[in-house]
Amino acid sequence: MLSAHNNNIFDFDCILYYIALLALDTLEMLSIAVQDLLLALLGFIGDLIIADGGCDIEDVALNGNDPCKLFQSCIFRIKDGCTLLTEAERDQINKIAPLGRYYLCFQGYSRIYYMQWDCKGSVQLYKLAIAGAIEDLMQEYVDDIGDLETELHEDPSLPLSYILQRTQKVF
């Protein structure tokens, strides 16, 4: 039975994840963390990377409701209490992971304003143009993440610093 010890409450999901990974070596654990990071870069949070700050990721991503809320109150980061990675690896992932949150914000904005015409044609054209440009940039970003995933599958020994360097152009 899990219990609180010294006012630290154990996160049951993180512990189960940790137990499942005990038999894996360090490179395999890092590889799993990298896969979680790649998913987070496209807005999908998982077991290791969470959305912190009380934001409703699904509301923005699926419905396009008020993407500005994500900019103000949410951050993607490594879950507290998980000791699967070194502190340096956690720091690097925490530098990269927020890009997924920005991706969701831009996706939400684009869904609100891209091709939002009514019968009277009263859409503000500058918002439509910005949304179209965002769509183009997001497609380039998704292609870059796909290329990065391919490179990481071809050479799984690439370090996290390589991912940080490859995503530098969008920071």
Which residue range forms the structural domain that includes residue 57?
Answer: 12-170
pLDDT-based confidence at residue 3 (cuts at 50, 70, 90):
very low
The pTM score is: 0.75
In this structure, is residue 58 part of a structural domain? yes
In this structure, is residue 1 part of a structural domain? no
In this structure, is residue 5 part of a structural domain? no
Q: Does residue 85 register a pLDDT over 90?
A: no
Q: Does residue 118 register a pLDDT over 60?
A: no
In this structure, is residue 7 part of a structural domain? no
Q: Retrieve residue 119's tokens.
A: 């019968």
Beta carbons of 2 and 36 less than 8 angstroms apart: no
Q: Does residue 4 register a pLDDT over 50?
A: no
In this structure, is residue 161 part of a structural domain? yes
Q: Bigger pLDDT: 74 or 160?
A: 160
Beta carbons of 68 and 106 less than 8 angstroms apart: no
Per-residue model confidence as pLDDT tens digits over 122-167? 567 778 888 889 999 999 999 999 999 999 999 988 999 999 999 9
Domains held by the chain: number: 1
Q: Retrieve residue 168's tokens.
A: 């530098």
Q: Long-range contact list for 154-163, CB < 8 A, 24+ apart?
A: 156/27, 156/31, 157/27, 160/30, 160/34, 160/89, 160/92, 160/93, 160/96, 161/92, 163/34, 163/37, 163/92, 163/96
What mean pLDDT do residues 30-53 have? 87
What mean pLDDT do residues 62-82 have? 69
In this structure, is residue 4 part of a structural domain? no
Question: Could you tell me how many residues make up the chain?
Answer: 171
In this structure, is residue 46 part of a structural domain? yes
In this structure, is residue 29 part of a structural domain? yes
